Amino acid sequence: MTQLPPLYRTLRERFDASRADRRTRGTLVAGSLVATFGLMASFALAPPAPPSEAAALAAYASDHAQEVDVSSYAAVQHLEATGAVTRDEYDATSGEETFIAGGTNYDWAKLVLLYAGFPVSDTNVTVITRWMRQENYIDSWWLRNNPLNNGWGASYGPGGTGSNSDLVAAAHNAAGALLSRGGYAGIVAAFQDGTSSEAVESAIWASNWASGHYANGSHWHYTPVPVVKAPASAWGR
């Protein structure tokens, strides 16, 4: 092999060293670019962080926002305050107190049914109000506080002439008489069914409640019974 002069050999070594240095720097730059690209790709593929609780609440409130027309509400408030508009009042009372507060002949009929444990049906109420009319005048159905002229009871005299302290006691006594006297079993059964006025009335006529048996129904009246309210004193109020 031809030996290069010393000067050329020095230049050749410097040239080779420079090429090696450039290759090294190129390799480092390329590696750096690859690492940077990989890092960027990692950030690009990573899922976003979940929103904070405050952000989630704000988003929900925005999607479900409601509006209140304050002017309309204020107008209603003004009408209520001036008496132009009133709100209904609601209250709950027992059946007994409701009927007593009503105070009519129909309420007394319902009270008897309630105390006897019979259905408080339109049919049953209609029969009792008709029955009350057969025993007393409509406008004074509370006479002697004994609307059905019930003759059974410790304080009663014969022939249904007894009296009660008030209409509440009368309802108790009438219900008790129906349930305790064997001659009224047919009436009780028909009332318990509560669907046929004819059945109840036929049982009443056949019983010994009235000695004349209402002429077996020929003296019974079917016209509607007017609603008549008794004095509060008759109810013990």
The residues spanned by each domain of the chain are 95-235
CA 25 to chain centre: 85
The burial of 225, by beta-carbon neighbours within 10 Å (0-12 exposed, 13-18 middle, 19 or more buried), is given as buried
In this structure, how many other beta carbons lie within 10 angstroms of the beta carbon of residue 61? 10
Which one has a higher pLDDT value, 51 or 120? 120
The whole-chain average pLDDT of the chain stands at: 77
Residue 59: per-residue pLDDT: 73
Is a pLDDT exceeding 50 seen at residue 185?
yes
Residue 160: per-residue pLDDT: 54
CA distance 176 to 189: 15
Residue 178: per-residue pLDDT: 95
The model carries a pTM of 0.61
Q: Which residue type sits at 30?
A: A
Question: Which of 77-86, 91-100, 119-128 is predicted least confidently?
Answer: 77-86
Is a pLDDT exceeding 50 seen at residue 183?
yes
Comparing C-alpha atoms, which of 88, 118, 236 is closest to residue 178?
118
Residue 187: per-residue pLDDT: 97
